[in-house]
Structures are given as structure tokens and as C-alpha cells.
Structure 1
Amino acid sequence: MDSKNIVVEVVYALADKQKLLRLILPYGTTVRQAAEQSGMAAHFPDLDLSTCPLGIFGKAVAKPQERVLEDGERVEIYRPLIADPKEVRKQRAARAAQAKADAEGT
């Protein structure tokens, strides 16, 4: 393979549909550019690749428009959170405390 190119994967998943695309891109391609050039939007029409959060191998990339990819990396396109994880944990803890209090009261 030409040393001026890199091979990367771009992945995106919904609850019922997943897609992994393997791309050959020029060296110097950023995370955001790889996502936009992947063609993933054709498979997921509601996906806005210009603003969605991105990561590499499970770690979010703070500035995907600046982070240059290396050969073999996997770009992950993240969905927006439906609920705030901190709030969900807080509600779960409150329910558990209430259940414990109810069990001790009976």
C-alpha cells in the first residue's frame, strides 16, 4: 500500500442497525473529515456528521476537526445522549433508597 494513505474504519450504531465502513484515506485526514467522507450519512439520513461527537476506539476526541488519524484507527460516531447519565444515576439511587426504606418499614 502507498505510504501516503491510511486505512481506517468508521462505525455508527443505532439500537437496531449498525454499520462499519473501511476506508482508504490520504495521510493527514482528520477524524471529522473521515466521518464526513465515509458516506455514513447515506445509511443514516438523520445523522449530522458536521456536529456529532466523535471518538477513536471508545475515547471521545475533543477536537475532531484537528486530530489527525493514524493507520488502523477506528472512528466512532456517537449519538446524542437521550438522558443525562448523572441524573439517571441520581434517580436510581433515590429509588433504591426509597425501596430500602419501604422494606425496613414493613
Structure 2
Amino acid sequence: MNVEVVQAWPRVARSQTLELPDGSTVAAALASIAAPDADIAGYSVFGVRVTETTVLRDGDRLELLRALQIDPKDARRRRASKPDTR
């Protein structure tokens, strides 16, 4: 089966297609990656959070997620507190 592994971060975009045996898990896919980054905070398949024990299917897109830089609620509050510059 073929699985696409995607990492899209600021200034970094990588996509790699892996050929894995049927029934492979996220952990098996990660072990097949040449050099995964150390700051991976989680994983998703087509935008749905998964764990390392999740079984992948042919054609899945495994997305490597990084940790949030700022809490989304705090970012929204900061934007709302700034004066409108339009």
C-alpha cells in the first residue's frame, strides 16, 4: 500500500510517498521516514488526529503536526484588542 507523509511548517514543506505492507501503523510509517524532525507533536490522517497505533490504509495522507506556538484563544484575544487599521 502507498501512504503519503506530509510535513508542512513555516518555510518547510516535505512530502514523501512510502510503500508499506498492508496493516502498517503510523509508528511503522514513522520508522520508514529517512530523518523525522524531533519537534513532531502529533499525527493526523486527512486532518483527523490519530495515534501511533492507528492502522493506515492505502492512499492515506499521514500529516506530521508540530506543537502550537501560541494558544489559539490567546491569539484571537490579541487580534481583537488591536485597533482596527482599515
State the TM-score, normalizing by the size of structure 2. 0.82
Q: Which of 23, 32, 50 is 2:27 aligned to?
A: 32
Percent of paired sites with the same residue: 35
Q: CA RMSD in A?
A: 1.9
Separation in 1, partners of 2:7, 2:22: 22
**Secondary structure in 1 aligned to 2:18?**
strand
Tell me the equivalent position of 1:56: 45
The answer to whether structure 1 residue 69 and structure 2 residue 70 are counterparts is no
* Higher strand proportion (structure 1 or 2): 2
**Paired AA for residue 79 in structure 1:** R
Equivalent pairs counted in the alignment come to 84
Separation in 1, partners of 2:35, 2:64: 9
Residues 32 and 54 of structure 1 are in contact (CA less than 8 Å); yes or no, is this contact kept in structure 2? no
Greater gyration radius:
1
Separation in 2, partners of 1:26, 1:18: 26
Unaligned 5+ runs, structure 2: none
Runs of 4+ with deviation above 6 angstroms: none
Unaligned 5+ runs, structure 1: 1-5, 42-46, 101-106
Q: Which of 3, 9, 17 is 2:4 aligned to?
A: 9
Separation in 1, partners of 2:21, 2:59: 13
Structure showing greater relative contact order (alpha-carbon pairs closer than 8 Å, 6 or more residues apart): 2
State the TM-score, normalizing by the size of structure 1. 0.68
**Secondary structure in 2 aligned to 1:90?**
helix
The alpha carbon displacement at 1:66 in A equals 1.8
